[in-house]
């Protein structure tokens, strides 16, 4: 959860769709 919160903070700050796609790819590994 900690990593997810950190990434979400970065996503909100950057607002970069690529970050969202990278996050989904990371989750798919689990």
**Alpha-carbon span 21 to 19, nearest angstrom:** 5
Domain edges within the chain: 1-30
End-to-end alpha carbon distance in the chain: 13
Render 1-30 in DSSP notation, one character per residue. -HHHHHHHHHHHHH--HHHHHHHHHHHHH-
CA distance 14 to 9: 9
Band of pLDDT at residue 1, cut at 50, 70 and 90 = low
- Note the pLDDT of residue 30: 67
CA 21 to chain CA centroid, Å, is 8
pLDDT tens per residue, range 3-30:
888 878 877 777 777 777 888 888 887 6
């Amino acid at each position: 959860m900690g990593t997810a919160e950190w990434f979400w903070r970065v996503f909100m700050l950057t607002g970069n769709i690529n970050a969202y796609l990278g996050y989904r790819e990371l989750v798919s590994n689990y």
